[in-house]
Amino acid sequence: MSACESNFIELLQIMKKLRSSDGCPWDREQTNDSLKMFAIEEAYELLEAIESGSHEELKDELGDLLLQVVFHSQIQDEKGNFDIEDVAKAINEKLIRRHPHVFADVKVSDSNDVIKNWNEIKLQEKELKGSISTTSIFNDIPKSFPSLYRAQEVQKRVSKVGFDWLDIDDIFSKLEEELRELRVALKSNNKDDVRNEIGDLLFTCVNISRFLGHNAEDLLRINIKKFEKRFEFVDKKIKEKKMDFSDLTIKELDTYWNEAKKADL
């Protein structure tokens, strides 16, 4: 038995122990439903670890995410539905099925062909399961996706069937149109119109990001981090002068903000 196998088996044994009658009260109380948000949190922490460039952080977060898989599988094993072996078998079969250019005689010319085949096989699988209707191209986009990510996936789907912008300048024109409509809505003081126009504006911004080959969810997350660092810089400067934000004008605060930008924060 390899070290990898022994460590994984130990992890399964630890999880079983935690869920046992003489294990941990908190772990015993958990259900798939109570744990679902932890899986999302761990996935986002994994993203942060990847972006940090730290191998140690990446290792730790991959472990935390692996724990979620083991935890959920153990709960289902106790119910007699499936166990971790079934999970591994299912993904093994799926990988082989979705890579016919590797495990069968299908020919591909590049990664675009691979993605095209993957999506077609995925759709066929869902149709066989009866889990989707073939009337919508959006059926297999999880509704639980973050809004920016879901918006980008929706736009990618319609782009694949030819419903897309021809030029980036056309999207900029759409952005300017949405800004004008938002200003009109604000002047009319119609709250519903304002909400709708802000939504249109955000959707158009996602389109710009997608069209230029970027992930809007990633870009916004990076921008938030940048904002936080710059704000913390400003906050530190103000505290060093033993002052509060309320003691300074917006113009004075903007001076500190520009210092943060010059510091490449």
d(CA 226, CA 245) in angstroms, rounded, equals: 20
pLDDT of residue 160: 87
CA 237 to chain centre: 34
Alpha helices, H only, the chain: 3-19, 25-29, 32-52, 55-78, 84-97, 100-103, 111-129, 147-160, 168-188, 191-211, 216-240, 250-262
Distance CA 110, CA 116 (A): 10
By the 8 A CB rule, do 26 and 41 touch? no
Residue 51: burial class (beta carbons within 10 Å; 0-12, 13-18, 19+): middle
Res 186: pLDDT? 97
pLDDT at site 100: 95
Rounded CA separation 262/242 (Å): 23
Question: Do 158 and 203 contact (CB within 8 A), yes or no?
Answer: no
Whole-number pLDDT of residue 49: 94
Q: Is 241 exposed, middle or buried (0-12, 13-18, 19+ CB in 10 A)?
A: exposed
pLDDT in tens, the chain (265 residues): 777 789 999 999 999 999 999 999 999 999 999 999 999 999 999 999 998 999 999 999 999 999 999 999 999 999 999 999 999 999 999 999 999 999 999 999 999 899 888 888 887 887 787 765 556 788 778 888 889 999 999 999 999 889 999 999 999 999 999 999 999 999 999 999 999 999 999 999 999 999 999 999 999 999 999 999 999 999 999 999 999 999 999 999 999 999 999 887 6
Query: Chain-centre distance of CA 155, in angstroms?
Result: 16
**Confidence (pLDDT) at 145:** 87
CA-based diameter of the chain, in Å? Answer: 72
